[in-house]
Structure 1
Amino acid sequence: MNIGIYIYDNAEVLDFSGPFEVLSTAKRLEDNNWNIFLVAEECRIIQARGGFPVQPHFTFDSHPDIDILIVVGGVHTEEVKNSNVVSWVSQVASKSQRVLSVCTGAFILAEANLLNGLTVTTHWEDIADLKADYPALNVVTDRRWVSDGKYITSGGISAGIDMSLHLVTELANLDLAESTANQMEYQWQKCT
């Protein structure tokens, strides 16, 4: 199973590193066939928030098929204006089994018209903007993550860890998710 995490300049570090840690820890504990990787638009060092440099594993033109797509948040305003990004997300999402967003990654999914009519969430600070910019979405507050069909959206930053542990329960089982949280010494907030 190929799990691709989309990153870009000014992406929140924990938005991609949190899910990457959860999924790679679960893989290590169960020795499953998950292939977890970072994807960027171009082959170059990505400057995440705080100047954190990240080398993606693949680009839009070089990645394997993606079964699970995770779109992270951060300073997303340029991403939603980038037609190449929006088109790529839409195309990959149409073929993926699951599509997730962390924090303001929901804006990118919404811009790709993937969330219309669905119940979603994002970082508390961006709830009003998501509602105003994408009125076809049912945006809810005070939820760590929301699952609606094949889409799962999460609140801000650390909520992506909780959402990813929930994903582990869907891909494997609750025992593996709990073992993963324990291995990470993380207090999993199981309630959405």
Structure 2
Amino acid sequence: MARAVDRLGGIIATGRPVSVGILLFPEVEVLDFAGPFEVFSVADRVARRDGLVSGGAFDVATVAVGSRDVRARHGLVVRTDHEASDAPPFDLLVVPGGVVTQPLGDTATLDYIRRAGAAATLTASFCTGAFLLAAMGLLEGRPATTHWDDIQDLRAAHPELQIIEDVPFVDEDEVITSAGISAGIGMSLHLVAGILGEAAARATARQMQYDWEP
């Protein structure tokens, strides 16, 4: 069976962009959602500019549960594109980190992650978003990582998991986890490289003036 990133690339080959859904919740880390939003949006622009696609590469949207208005960390208020009840299925589900107390304790948010993750070809977590994937059982039998400052807490909460330290991300095909905050930008570029090719990812990083190596 083809890897998840190859299947996502196959979607683009049909002339349809890969739909990317980024979950937001109270106290979500700003760069955790803004970083991938920027990477996939810029990659779409670069792919169109360079003639790599005919129908677009990525269609990026944000979604929240219960209300479209979310107060992120440090007080930034964001209005998402969708509330969970009207959100379409996404090919790539992105679960950022931050202070995850609220989503971990909210049945509706966990149910949304379960449903959206089941419908997605690939699910990616940034930073402490790994706690949410772990709560859904999505990390069982897979190595994973999170922010260095939260490694021990993740191990304590889920001693059955294989948690890896000192890596920017762990690519386990249908589920990818990354370390803290800016590591998610590198992971997003890794996904762009897998879907569109390394040259497109390098062009995206250059457009962002981001120092990146595969």
TM range (shorter): over 0.9
Alignment of 1:109-124 (within 5 A): 109-124=133-148
Which residue of 2 is the match for residue 177 of structure 1?
Answer: 201
TM (norm. structure 1) is: 0.96
Q: 1:154 aligns with which of 178, 187, 190?
A: 178
Query: If the length of structure 2 is used for normalisation, what is the TM-score?
Result: 0.86
Work out whether 1:11 is the aligned partner of 2:34.
no
Q: Sequence identity, in percent?
A: 40
The Cα offsets for residues 48-75 of structure 1, whole Å up to 9 and x where unpaired, read as: 1110111100011011111100000000
Q: Which residue of 2 aligns with 1:102?
A: 126
1:150-192: per-residue Cα shift (whole Å, max 9, x none)?
A: 11100000001000000101221111100000000001153xx
Question: SS of 2:35's equivalent?
Answer: helix
Give the CA deviation at 1:134.
1.0
Runs of 4+ in 1 over 3 A off after TM superposition: none
Q: How far apart in 2 are the matches of 1:132 and 1:106?
A: 13
Contact 2:127–2:179, Cα closer than 8 Å, also in 1: yes
1:1-192 matches, within 5 Å, as: 1-31=18-48, 32-190=56-214
Q: Deviations over 1:122-151 (max 9, x none)?
A: 000000011110122110000001001211
Local SS of the residue matching 2:103: coil
Measure, in 2, the Cα distance between the counterparts of 1:114 and 1:84. 17
Once residues 129 and 149 of structure 2 are traced to their aligned partners in structure 1, the CA distance between those partners, rounded to angstroms, is: 13
In structure 1, how many angstroms separate the alpha carbons of the residues matched to 2:191 and 2:153? 26
Deviation at 1:79, TM superposition (A): 1.1
The answer for unaligned runs of 5 or more in structure 1 is: none
> Which of these two proteins has the greater Rg computed from alpha carbons?
2
In the alignment of these two chains, the number of paired residues is 190
- Output the aligned Cα RMSD: 1.0
Q: Provide the rounded CA distance (Å) in 1 between the counterparts of 2:131 and 2:194.
A: 24
The amino acid of 2:166's aligned partner reads: D
